[in-house]
């Protein structure tokens, strides 16, 4: 596991050709996903003038993650490279269908659901394959670079989505997303070598049984269940992003520019936080993981006072920087899991994190109806602080104050 050796450097990780292919493939497909979210919401609202249906469309890009663990076992049953390629090709075809002009909603919604559902085995395979490509502290740095992909992809993808819709059309933007999956598949085909399935020659079990075993694996290990709880609690600070637009409406009189800055502040803070945390010694990162999770809620408390937008942006950025503990927690989780069940465990971890974000955003919206968005941000901050502090203590006990050991 991670020891006292020097921290790996970015050039060490980017020197690995397979990692470069995986990284660029994920960057391209992540940006494409954000383009699709913008385009789909635009198409649905344009066709129905219903904000509720537009919101439902956006939610459909997250909620299928609740069923994701059922398919994550495919990342152990079949070669992980093959799972990723098939998932990319399938999503390219489905998104291409969604780009058909005037597609009825009764066809659009199931397609969105399936595209999102297919993401689960792909993410599980990618995370497990990363542990085959990188080892030791290089895996942590590689995970940090993956986190940067997610944040940069969000900011760039949303902006690119708006540009593509304005320049071509929402249907044209969806075709761009389909093309991103094709390009991702090609990068994996030519940049990642073939490996056998993790449980090649092992017993063949149902996906349901695989899911059950994955859950037992995680919840029977004190360190793994604490790590997965830390990973899932990311939904709490992320919920602040769902409150950004109504919060700005209260404090900046619905200034769209201010909304854009506030939405960008959190992922930009996360990129900076990820960069800084990978510069620390590996053992120190593990010790700081819990305190940073709790600290990600503190800046949100300031927003209760409804300070100027610039200060609110700073607070959102600081929250995102503290939430960069997510650079450390997933690789610690991955390295703790045995190779044969790793894909299933990663599917449970990543699907739970996505679902937790969707649920937290929805609950924060309900709270905001009663307290106002500023009050809801304060409650979100308190919840993050309390849950994070409890998990920091649980992690200290589970790890015994020492560095993790291999499973």
pLDDT number for residue 1: 42
Angle between helices 342-371 and 329-336 (to 10 degrees): 150
Domain 206-401 has what CATH class?
mainly alpha
Tokens 């994190």, residue?
A: 353
Please measure the distance between the N-terminal and C-terminal CA atoms of the chain and give it in whole angstroms.
Answer: 9
Fold of the domain built from segment(s) 12-199: Growth Hormone; Chain: A; (1.20.1250)
pLDDT number for residue 116: 82
DSSP string, 339-374: GGGHHHHHHHHHHHHHHHHHHHHHHHHHHHHHH-HH
Profile the chain (407 residues) by mean pLDDT over runs of 10 residues. 56 86 87 76 68 58 69 78 93 91 83 84 83 79 75 67 73 87 94 80 63 80 92 89 75 60 81 85 88 94 89 92 90 81 77 80 80 89 95 88 47
Tokens 């830390």, residue?
A: 230
**The pair of three-digit structure tokens given for residue 113, joined into one six-digit string:** 């659901």
One fold for 12-199 and 206-401: yes
Enter the DSSP assignment of 5.
S
Cα separation values, 297 from 19, 187, 198, 206, 377, Å:
33, 38, 39, 40, 9
pLDDT number for residue 280: 85
Burial class (CB in 10 A: 0-12, 13-18, 19+), 67: middle
Ordered by start, the domain boundaries in the chain are 12-199, 206-401
Cα separation values, 267 from 2, 4, 145, 241, 322, Å:
27, 30, 13, 10, 11
The C-alpha atoms of residue 112 and residue 61 are separated, in whole angstroms, by 7
The C-alpha atoms of residue 89 and residue 117 are separated, in whole angstroms, by 14
DSSP string, 198-226: TTTTS----HHHHHHHHHHHHHTSHHHHH
The C-alpha atoms of residue 358 and residue 41 are separated, in whole angstroms, by 16
pLDDT number for residue 255: 56
∠ CA 219-114-353 to the nearest 5 degrees?
30
């Amino acid at each position: 596991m991670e020891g006292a050796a020097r921290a790996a450097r970015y050039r060490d990780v980017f020197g690995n050709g397979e990692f470069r292919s995986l990284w660029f493939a994920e960057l391209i497909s992540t940006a494409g996903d954000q383009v699709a979210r913008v385009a789909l919401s635009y198409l649905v609202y344009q066709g129905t003038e219903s904000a509720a249906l537009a919101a439902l469309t956006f939610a459909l890009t997250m909620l299928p993650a609740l069923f994701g663990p059922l398919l994550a076992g495919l990342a152990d049953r079949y070669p992980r490279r093959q799972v990723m390629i098939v998932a990319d090709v399938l999503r390219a075809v489905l998104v291409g269908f969604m780009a058909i002009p005037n597609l009825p909603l009764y066809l659009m919604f199931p397609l969105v659901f399936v595209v999102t559902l297919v993401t689960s085995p792909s993410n599980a395979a990618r995370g497990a394959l990363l542990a085959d490509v990188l080892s030791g502290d290089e895996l942590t740095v590689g995970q940090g670079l993956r986190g940067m992909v997610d944040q940069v992809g969000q900011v760039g993808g949303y902006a690119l989505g708006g540009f593509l819709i304005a320049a071509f059309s929402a249907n044209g933007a969806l075709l761009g997303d389909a093309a991103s999956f094709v390009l991702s598949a090609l990068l994996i085909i030519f940049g990642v070598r073939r490996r056998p399935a993790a449980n090649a020659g092992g017993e063949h079990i149902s996906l349901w049984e695989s899911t059950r075993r994955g859950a037992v694996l995680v919840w029977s290990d004190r360190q793994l269940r604490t790590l997965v709880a830390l990973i899932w609690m990311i939904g709490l600070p992320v919920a602040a992003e769902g409150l950004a637009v109504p919060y700005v409406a209260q404090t900046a009189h619905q200034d769209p520019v201010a909304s854009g800055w506030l939405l960008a502040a959190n992922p930009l803070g996360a990129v900076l936080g990820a960069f800084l945390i990978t510069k620390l010694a590996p053992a120190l990162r593990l010790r700081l993981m819990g305190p940073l999770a709790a600290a990600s809620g503190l800046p949100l408390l300031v927003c209760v006072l409804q300070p100027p937008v610039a200060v609110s942006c700073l607070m959102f950025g600081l929250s995102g920087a503290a939430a960069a503990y997510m650079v450390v927690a997933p690789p610690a989780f991955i390295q703790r899991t045995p190779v044969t069940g790793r894909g299933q465990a990663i599917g449970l971890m990543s699907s739970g994190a996505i679902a937790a974000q969707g649920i937290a955003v929805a609950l924060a919206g309900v709270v905001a109806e009663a307290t106002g968005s500023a009050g809801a941000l304060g409650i979100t901050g308190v919840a993050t602080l309390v849950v994070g502090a409890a998990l920091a203590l649980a992690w200290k006990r589970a790890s015994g104050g020492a560095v993790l050991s291999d499973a």
